[in-house]
Chain A
Amino acid sequence: MIQSKAELEDWYGTGDPWGYVHDPEDIKRKDILLNEIPDQAFQNVLDIGCGNGFITQSLPGEMIHGIDLSGNAIAYANLNNQNPKITYEEKDIFELYHTTQQFDLIVITGVLYSQYIGESSNLIFIIIDRLLQKGGILVAVHIDEWYTCRFPYNLFKENVYPYKSYFHRLEVYQK
């Protein structure tokens, strides 16, 4: 069953429901992610499923845009945002199909789970393909046990590391 938006809003009613900010495991996985992003200058960066902006606020790039389905998460992200380069928006991943802007870095963390996207990964690939510039970088981080797909780009880096009681699979692709 896909989690309803109401349920999600309820969950994000408390700012940092997952307790990311102070959890050493989350601080570690944020470090790993930031370290694995190729060392180059990015212009337009998109963070899909940004939640309260835990990762977004540390991403490199000239313009950084975070989207999340939860309005409460976005409200919390905005509340803590002092960086003029970063903008947040409440948006369903499937609505991104209509976005005309292109990005040279897309980060997607903990989104491609059946609880959020059911069986629709191939549509998400269509959507991301419209958004990602040719040659652009895509970084996907997911709990390995719940993540069953792979983006149709060249996968040039993979890192699997323990995360809480799971394993995280970090993938870096180039279009």
Chain B
Amino acid sequence: MYHKIAPDSPSMWWVTVNNFYRQMFELGNKQVVYLDDYDPKNKNHVVITFDGVYKNILTYAAPVLEKFGYPFELFITSDYLGQANEFDTVEPPADFASITELLLLQQRGGRMQWHTKSHPDLKNELNTDLIDNELSIPYEKGYFDDNSFKWFAYPYGNFNDGVVDRVKKHFNGAVSCNQGSDTDFFKLNRLTVTNETRLSKETISCIIPSYNYGQFLSEAIESVLRQTIVPDEIIIADDCSTDMTGEIAMYYKKKHPKLISYFKNTENMGIVPHFNKAISLSAGSYIVFLGADNCFQSNYIEECASVLNQYSDVGIAYTDFLLFGSRAKKMYAEFKPEYQSVVGHDFFKIEFPEAEDIDVMERLKQGNFIHGSSMYRRSCYEKIGGYKSSTEEPEDYNFFLSAVKNGFKVKKANNTILQYRQHSLDQANHSFGNQKLVNFYKIRVKELEAELAFLRKYKIVSGISFGFKVKQNFKKLLVHIKKNGINKTIDKLLKRQF
């Protein structure tokens, strides 16, 4: 149950657009249905409802619902249509949708349902005439479509047995908030969704391994931080780098302490043990690696996780990639002609086949098309027993081959892409000319300057010089306190008048 969706959220009844978007993404492994189709015994069934209904649902929620293709229910209170919520003195101002706006919402997949005429608390209401009046629909048949007004929502979620009896005469079912039950069709409970609500148990870990790729690292981290769906954790895994990897990782960890963690091996472990160690330190049910020299397009996490959310039998979500960097053109030419796709703006697109169109095992034997940044389920990793060293093939190829052998399905996530850097070893060791790294340091220098200015200011008003002054003027101070009180003395101290 939602009330208001808007860019900001001045009270708990408002969910921000981005949180609403995340919650809709989290419903990806559920089946969103209308109340008419809702089966309480089906754990996968979810109904999205809005009470009010406020105009901001049309502006801010409807486009998101349309993108996800979800149906939704609108419980309207007819007396307030098209008006402001002035009666609600506690809540910040918000307009209710007008009839025209409700009709637009209906076009977008919303169904009109009933929430009384004036939103009275019916908990102790015994007058059946008054109840019936609140339950009667003032619109002529055909005004809204034929699916409308079959369901009722109790104002404040409150009811008594008499109210339920009257509701049964007018409607097919009714919803409450928490006074009801999970099975009774005339008292169905609803979850009050707030900004913090999580609608899925799945969590996402993004691991960024780096071995002396410090010069590219900030670009890789920024590409994860700016995702449309940010992962639940980002682990920067340093395989004993001797470059600026640690410095850059610590900078981001300090900036995002709840999101980012960093570890550094005391000696270089090499790819396979390093990857396995990083996973052992992660907690997400979905795992994705991002090479420190590569980048995600900003919907990468969302699109890959959506595939895993939507298809419970798929273990691995892969994508196409774009080759860029000094050797991109050369690498592109080395791919099978059928994988070569679009060339433009210094990027060379490699387009892999849809798993449904091919014999995955056969094609994998010919060569890998599931790149190392594909997102997979932890259960997949556990079943295979982790990355294994092989002299014959790269660790990720070996890993995905073994996953497919173990019966895990793979599926391509479309509409997103991995930016896959092709640089020469010489370039990797050459920190000059890397614009992104220069950008990182430019910004860092500015932040340090601001920090320094702050520290200087702080030192003047307190700390060492403050203590020194106090000691020097101790007697003078005591006299001043006795005469003027402590607050005035502190004011004077801060103004450095002693």
Contacts and interface: CB of A to CB of B under 8 A. Distances in A.
A125 B228 contact: yes
Given A151-B298, A160-B443, A2 B17 contact: no
Interface residues of B, number: 40
A120 B298 contact: no
Given A126-B64, A152-B228, A174 B6 contact: no
Interface string B223-250: 1011110000000000000000000000
Interface in B1-31: 6-9, 16-19, 21
Interface in B54-83: 59-60, 63-64, 67
A152 B295 CA distance: 12
A167 B442 contact: yes
A156 B443 contact: no
Contact of B59 (A1, A94, A149, A158): A94
B226 A123 contact: no
A137 to B, nearest CB: 9
A156 to B, nearest CB: 4
Chain A interface, DSSP helix/strand/loop, else mixed: mixed
A76 interface: no
Interface string A131-160: 000000000000010001111111111111
B346 A156 contact: yes
B270 to A, nearest CB: 32
A125 B227 CA distance: 12
Contact of B442 (A117, A122, A149, A160): A160
Contacts of B63: 97, 123, 126-127
Which size class do A's interface residues fall under? 20 to 34
B64 A117 contact: no
Contact of B298 (A118, A152, A156): A152
Contact of B416 (A127, A151, A152, A158): A152
A104 B416 CA distance: 20
B417 A154 contact: yes
B223 A150 contact: yes
A10 interface: no
Given A119-B8, A123-B60, A174 B344 contact: yes
Given A97-B63, A154-B347, A122 B6 contact: no
A144 B344 contact: no
Nearest to A124: B17
A87 interface: no
B411 to A, nearest CB: 19
5 contacts: A38-B345, A118-B16, A119-B7, A156-B346, A160-B442
Interface of B: 6-9, 16-19, 21, 59-60, 63-64, 67, 222-223, 225-228, 295, 297-299, 322, 324, 344-347, 415-417, 419, 435-436, 439, 442-443, 446
